[in-house]
A and B are shown apart, each in its own frame.
Chain A
Amino acid sequence: MAASREAFLVVASLAAGLAVGGVALAFGGANPVSGVYVLLTGFTYYPEILVVSASILTLTGLAFAIPLRMGFFNIGGEGQLYAGALAALVVALNAPYTPLPALVAGLAAGGLLGVIVGLLRVKLNVNEVLSTIMLNWALYWFTSYTVITRLSDPVYPHLTREVPEPARIPWIPSSALGPLSDFLPRGLPTIPLISAAVAVAAWFFMYRTLPGLRYRFAGSNEYAARSRGVNVDLIRILSMAAAGCLAGLAGALLVLGHSYRIDTGLSGLSGYGFEGIGAALIGRNHPLGVAAASIFFGGLYAGSERIQVEAMVPAELASIVTGVIIFVVAALSGLRYIAPRLLGAAREV
Chain B
Amino acid sequence: MAAEPRPLVEMRGIVKVYPDGVKALDGVDFDVYRGEVHALLGENGAGKTTLMRILYGEIRATSGVILVDGRRVSWRGPWDAIRSGIAMVYQNFRLVEGLTVEENLLVYLSSLGLPRAEARRRVERVVEDLGLSVDMDAPVEKLPPGARQRVEIVKALSGGARLLILDEPTSNLTPLEARGLFKLIGKLREKGVAVVYITHKLREVVEVADRVTVLRRGKVVARVSRGSEGFNEERLAALMVGEVPRPSSPASRPLGGEVLAVKDLYVAGDDGSVRVKGVTFTVRGGEVLGIAGVAGNGQEELVEAIIGLRAPLRGYVEVLGRRVRSPRDFYEAGGAFIPGDRAKALSPELSVAENAAFIYYTASRALLLRPSRLASLFDKLVRSFGLKAGGPSTPVSSLSGGNQQKVLVGAEFMRGFKLLVAVNPTQGLDVATAAFVRRLIVEAASRGSAVLLISSDLDEVLELSHRVAVMSSGRIAGVLARGEATPERLGVLMGGS
State which size class the interface on B falls in.
35 or more
Partner of B368, one of A209, A226, A347, A349: A209
Q: Is the CB of A224 within 8 A of B346?
A: yes
Any A CB within 8 A of the CB of B330: yes
Question: Could you say which residues of chain A place their CB within 8 Å of the CB of B401?
Answer: 349
A171 sits at the interface (CB 8 A): no
A207 to chain B: closest residue by CB: B369
Bound CA–CA A217/B345 (angstroms)? 10
A172 interface residue, CB < 8 Å from B? Answer: no
- Complex partner residue of B349 from A207, A210, A220, A349, CB under 8 angstroms: A220
Cross-chain contact A348 with B369 (CB below 8 angstroms): no
Complex Cα distance A343/B370, Å? 33
Q: Report B368-386 residues with CB < 8 Å from chain A CB.
A: 368-371
When chains A and B are docked, how far (Å) is the Cα of A227 from the Cα of B336? 11
**Chain A, 199-237, CB within 8 A of any chain B CB:** 207-214, 216-217, 220-221, 223-224, 226-229
| Chain A residue contacts of B304, Cβ below 8 A | 227
Residues on A with beta carbons closer than 8 Å to the beta carbon of B486: none
| Per-position binary interface string of chain B over residues 345-365, scored 1 when its CB falls under 8 Å from any chain A CB and 0 otherwise | 111111000110111011110
Alpha-carbon distance A259/B370, docked complex (angstroms)? 41
Known: A220-B347, A227-B307, A227-B309. A211 touches B367 (CB 8 A): yes
A227 touches B344 (CB 8 A): yes
Q: Indicate if the CB atoms of A213 and B354 lie closer than 8 Å.
A: yes
Complex Cα distance A142/B345, Å? 46
Choice from A211, A213, A221 contacting B357 with Cβ under 8 Å: A213
B371 to A, closest residue via Cβ: A208
* Contact indicator B367/A209 (Cβ below 8 Å): yes
The answer, yes or no, to whether B91 is at the interface (CB within 8 Å) is no
Query: Do A217 and B331 have beta carbons less than 8 Å apart?
Result: no
In the complex, the chain B residue whose C-beta lies closest to that of A204 is: B368
Which residues from A are CB-within-8-Å of B355? Answer: 217
* Least Cβ–Cβ distance between A204 and chain B, in angstroms: 10
Residue of A nearest to B374 (CB): A213
Taking a contact as CB atoms under 8 Å apart, the answer to whether A224 and B344 are in contact is yes
Q: Give the docked Cα–Cα distance between A214 and B350 (Å).
A: 11
Contact across chains for B330 and A216 when beta carbons are under 8 A apart: no
Chain A, interface residues (CB within 8 Å), range:
20 to 34
Name the residue among A216, A223, A224, A348 with the largest chain B CB count within 10 angstroms: A224
Give the distance in Å from the alpha carbon of A214 to the alpha carbon of B348 in the complex: 14
Q: Of A210, A217, A226, A229, which one neighbours B350 at CB under 8 angstroms? A: A217
Complex contact B307–A210 (CB within 8 A): no
Assess the A227–B337 pair: CB atoms within 8 A: yes
Chain A residue nearest in CB terms to B366: A210
Q: Which residues of chain B come closer than 8 Å to A223, judged between CB atoms?
A: 344
CB distance from B423 to the nearest CB of A (A): 11
> Which of B18, B327, B367, B370 touches A229 (beta carbons < 8 Å)?
B327
Q: Is the CB of A224 within 8 A of B347?
A: yes
**Chain B residues with CB below 8 A from A224, complex form:** 339, 344-347
Q: Complex: how many Å from CA A217 to CA B20?
A: 24
Q: With an 8 A cutoff between CB atoms, is B134 at the interface?
A: no
Contacts of A224-272 to chain B: CB distance below 8 A: 224, 226-229
Which residues does chain B contribute within 8 Å of A349, judged by CB atoms? 400-401
Q: How far is the CB of B79 from chain A (nearest CB, A)?
A: 15
Which residues of B sit under 8 angstroms from A227, Cβ to Cβ? 304, 307, 309, 327, 337, 339, 344-345
**Do residues B347 and A212 form an inter-chain contact, with CB atoms below 8 A?**
no
Contact B346 A229 (CB under 8 A): no
Given that A210-B369, A221-B346 are known contacts, is A229 also in contact with B363, CB under 8 Å in the complex? yes
Report if A209-B369 is in contact (Cβ < 8 Å); known contacts: A220-B348, A223-B344, A349-B400: yes
**Please, how many angstroms separate the alpha-carbon atoms of A227 and B309 in the complex?**
6
Asked if B344 and A210 make an inter-chain contact with CB atoms under 8 angstroms apart, the answer reads no
B326 at the interface (CB under 8 A from A): yes
**B370: nearest chain-A partner, CB-CB:** A208
Closest chain-A Cβ to B352's Cβ sits at a distance in Å of 13
Q: Please report the C-alpha to C-alpha distance between residue A212 and residue B354 in the assembled complex, in whole angstroms.
A: 11
Q: For the complex, is B328 an interface residue (Cβ under 8 Å from A)?
A: yes
For A208, the chain B residues whose CB sits under 8 A away are 368-371
Across the interface, which residues of A come within 8 angstroms of B330, CB to CB?
229
Instruction: Return the chain A residue nearest B399 by Cβ.
Output: A349
For residue B59, CB closer than 8 A to chain A, the reply is: yes
Q: Tell me the minimal C-beta distance from A301 to chain B in angstroms.
A: 33
Chosen A-B contacts, 27 in total, with CB atoms closer than 8 Å, are: A1-B20, A208-B369, A208-B370, A210-B357, A210-B368, A210-B369, A213-B357, A213-B361, A216-B350, A217-B355, A220-B350, A221-B346, A221-B348, A224-B344, A227-B304, A227-B309, A227-B327, A227-B345, A228-B337, A228-B363, A229-B308, A229-B326, A229-B327, A229-B331, A348-B18, A348-B59, A349-B400
Across chains A and B, which 8 residue pairs bring their CB atoms closest together, nearest first?
A: A229-B327, A229-B328, A220-B349, A220-B347, A221-B347, A228-B362, A217-B347, A217-B358
By a beta-carbon cutoff of 8 Å, the part of chain A in contact with chain B is 1, 207-214, 216-217, 220-221, 223-224, 226-229, 344, 347-349
Report B's interface with A, CB cutoff 8 A. 18, 20, 59, 304, 307-309, 326-328, 330-332, 337, 339, 343-350, 354-355, 357-359, 361-364, 366-371, 397, 400-401
